[in-house]
Structure 1
Amino acid sequence: MKLVAMRYFDDIQPGDRASFGGYAVTREEVLEFARKYDPQPFHLSDEAAAKTHFGRLAASGWHTNAMTMAMLVAHYEANPIASLGAAGIDELRWLKPVYPGDVLRCETEVLEARASQSRPDMGIVRSRLTTFNQNDEPVLTFIANALIARRTAA
């Protein structure tokens, strides 16, 4: 097992990039998520989905967000970061449907890193996150506003 140093706000620069993930989307998970959180017909039924622009059963966009978050957390577990949570996301876009059988992956790029004016123990990192399918087509994008501890305050 390799030891990876904790990344703090002080270690993060605009332009930093990361690629990670590999999430296989299953029919069972699409149906389970939809039944519980987004029970629209095109997320629950092949027949209903066939009558829409999706053409077939499609994952909820919120499910795509959840799968993206699972990949992000796994990335942070393998590459520890001094995360203090997030202040939200901006510009969320679902670009293409996600279907059972797709395999998702993520890329991030740091857009901005600035020290907090009100909390000197943390910084705010704005990153663009894009989720791609197995054909390297973007399916989701958003800008995350992450709160990261500063090493100087740790």
Structure 2
Amino acid sequence: MGGLWYEEFEPGRIFDHAIRRTVTESDNILFSCLTHNTQPLHIDFDFAEKNSEFGKPLVNSLFTLGLMIGISVNDTTIGTTIANLGMSDVKFPKPVFHGDTIRVETEVKSRRESKSRPDAGIVELEHRAYNQHGDLVGVCTRQAFMRKQPATTAKG
């Protein structure tokens, strides 16, 4: 199992995720259409060129959010998470465009044991996404419901 157990999430720990991803036009168009987001700023090049201060389509911010969290999974929660409990303080300080390469870092902000489940705890993670120029393009705080490490029996 690649993910960390609840006990392994030390507050203050920062993960610099090795996986990076270049966002393509297809990613943006497909994601926007699959989620029924018909905002022309995402899917209409002519509209974006004539009616946007950027002059080109913006990548759908919910794709950026999903990518930011998704990139973190292999290093943090794969196979050890029970569920996401929520995301808060989501911000997109700079836009993402087709061709931008995204890298992500995750900081463990806090953790606490579950009051209802002795085998689990809640970990608060802050994910930060940067483009290839080092500009912060996304940040969010995620509350993950994590499994505790199973007790091992000593063989004797």
Give the TM bin, normalised by the shorter chain: 0.7 to 0.9
Matches within 5 A, 1:48-67: 48-50=47-49, 51-67=51-67
Is the Cα–Cα contact under 8 Å of residues 129 and 138 in structure 2 kept in the other structure? yes
Structure number with larger C-alpha Rg? 2
Q: Matched residues in 2 for 1:123 and 1:114: separation?
A: 6
Aligned to 1:68: 68
- Which letter maps to 1:18? F
Counterpart secondary structure, 2:20: strand
Corresponding position: 1:9 with 2:6 = yes
Report the CA distance between 1:52 and its aligned residue: 1.3
Cα distance in structure 2, aligned partners of 1:140 and 1:71: 13
Deviation, 1:67, is 2.0
| CA deviation after TM superposition for structure 1 residue 5, in Å | 6.7
Q: Quick one: structure 1 residues 55 and 11, their matched pair in 2 at CA, closer, same or farther if it must change by over 3 Å? A: same
Instruction: Name the structure 1 match of 2:136.
Output: 138
In structure 2, how many angstroms separate the alpha carbons of the residues matched to 1:94 and 1:11?
29
- Partner residue, 1:85: 83
Q: Percent identity?
A: 26
Give runs of ≥4 in structure 1 deviating > 4 Å.
Answer: none
Structure 1 match to 2:124: 126
SS at match of 1:107: strand
Q: Determine the structure 1 residue equivalent to 2:94.
A: 96
Aligned CA distance change for structure 1 residues 117 and 97 (closer, same or farther; 3 Å):
same
Match of 1:113 among 93, 111, 114: 111
Bigger shift: 57-66 or 4-13? 4-13
1:97 CA displacement: 1.0
2:11 paired with 1:19: no
Extract unaligned runs of 5+ from structure 2: none
| AA at the equivalent of 1:68 | M
After superposition, the Cα gap between the structure-2 partners of 1:140 and 1:107, relative to the gap in structure 1 and judged at 3 Å, is: same
TM-score if structure 1 supplies the norm length? 0.86
Amino acid at match of 1:62: L
Amino acid at match of 1:69: I
Query: Contact 1:123–1:147 at 8 Å: present in 2 too?
Result: yes
Call closer, same or farther: CA 1:83–1:153 in 2, change over 3 Å. Answer: farther
- Number of aligned positions between the proteins: 149
1:113 corresponds to which letter in structure 2?
R
